[in-house]
Amino acid sequence: MSRKPKPLEGVRVVELGQLIAGPFAGKFFAEFGADVIKVEPPGKGDPLRQWRGMHGDTSLWWYVQNRNKKSVTLDLRLPEGQEIARRLLRGADIVIENFRPGTMEKWGLGYEVLSRDNPGLIMLSMSGFGQTGPMHDQAGFGSVGESMGGMRYVTGFPDRAPVRMNLSIGDALVALHGVIGTMMALHHRNAGGGKGQIVDVALFEAVFNMMEGTLPEFDMFGEIRGRTGTGLSGIVPSNTYPTADGQHVVIGANADSIFKRLMVLIGRKDLAEDPTLADNAGRCKRVDELDAVIGEWTGRHGVEEVVGKLNGAQVPNGKIYSIEDIVRDPQYLARGMIRDVMLSDGKSLKVPGIVPKLSETPGDLEWVGPALGEHTQSVLEGCGYDAAQIEGFRARKIV
């Protein structure tokens, strides 16, 4: 079977970012064929190497977040390190950074400097508050972006403090917006004369972009969408319901015809035929009643029976999965979303598959996150440095 090409083959990306947002963006480019060179500080490297669950001296998250990338160590705080970075960036299509605004300029790596030697360079800059505005120079982590972007305010129960997902969703959102913006800029450069540009993405703006109709609803009606627990404001029924075996299932029966099928399924034909419940507006007025009726039905059956009956009636639903459920789910397995890789010590490790799936130019997993500085020698040789120069850099702890 012949190897299918990847869509970003021939594109070189230099990733200067650390931890979550920058590397998560770089991962997408690497999975789809770009030559992604990750620059890390000598010694300890990206702090993500030491975060959360460890295998030996390396984070398991590292193997996923930095797969298909090349690791180069380089001290960007030193003038010689900055000069090496400038040489490396002369041959790049994209540079990714997620430092506090002004840091790249302090290092002599601002876009104005880099674009003189490489006018086609695209710089993806991700930060808490963007490159402009009165808060641009403030530090901003994903949790801050989630809070100021509005997401935390609507998450949780109305009688309790706002809660967060046990995930860094803000960092993921800014990275996804960054990848989209960078691909737009790359297309513009390739189709419109070869000029690069800066893609400026702020964490709080990426989160705010997910806030649906909350702004016009506030402007028009003065409505401030708040926390509704497991429900969804203005969409009924769409909630989480308990089952007899202690599990939970999400049911989305908010379309009019689906609502009727659900009511018939659970033995409430009277509600299916009730004209006041024929549309979403009417159902919103009786949300508590409907949730109680549905919850009473799910509470009398185990989760597998509930899911089976709902699927038979073509009512959208899903058991709330733990990672243990995900690993053995046949749909995940059929779609190649659970991959097995081999670590350097021979240990097998399950990692997520590739998203999205392209029919003609699919992405793939070539190798897991590299050892610190694994590719320093080969990458610097590709930039024109000889072995003696590279050894000198090592001796002076520049690389």
The residues, any chain, with a CB within 8 Å of residue 395's CB and separated by 6 or more, are none
8 A C-beta contact, residue 59 and residue 47: no
Q: Which of 26, 45, 40 is nearest to 72 (CA)?
A: 40
* Calpha distance 38→26 (Å, rounded): 8
Is 274 among the residues known to form the active site? no
Q: What angle do CA 92, 94, 100 make, to 5 degrees?
A: 120
CA–CA dist 17, 9 (Å, integer): 22
* 372 close to 75: Cβ distance less than 8 angstroms: no
Rg of the chain (C-alpha set): 25
CB 186 within 8 A of CB 163: no
Q: Hey, CA dihedral for 146, 198, 215, 281, is it positive or negative?
A: negative
DSSP per position, 265-310: HTT-HHHHT-GGGSSHHHHHTTHHHHHHHHHHHHTTS-HHHHHHHH
**Pair type for strands 94-97 and 12-15:** parallel
Q: Cβ distance 89 to 97 under 8 Å?
A: no
Of 171, 256, 291, 364, catalytic: 171
Contact assessment for residue 21 and residue 173, using Cβ atoms and an 8 Å cutoff:
no
List Cα–Cα distances, 144 to 66, 133, 141, in angstroms: 24, 17, 5
- Max distance between CA atoms of the chain, in angstroms, equals 84
Q: Is-contact 211 155, C-beta < 8 A?
A: no
Residue whose tokens read 């298909």: 68
Cα dihedral sign, 71-72-76-77 = positive
State how far the Cα of 360 lies from the Cα of 275, in Å rounded to an integer: 49
Catalytically active residues are 171
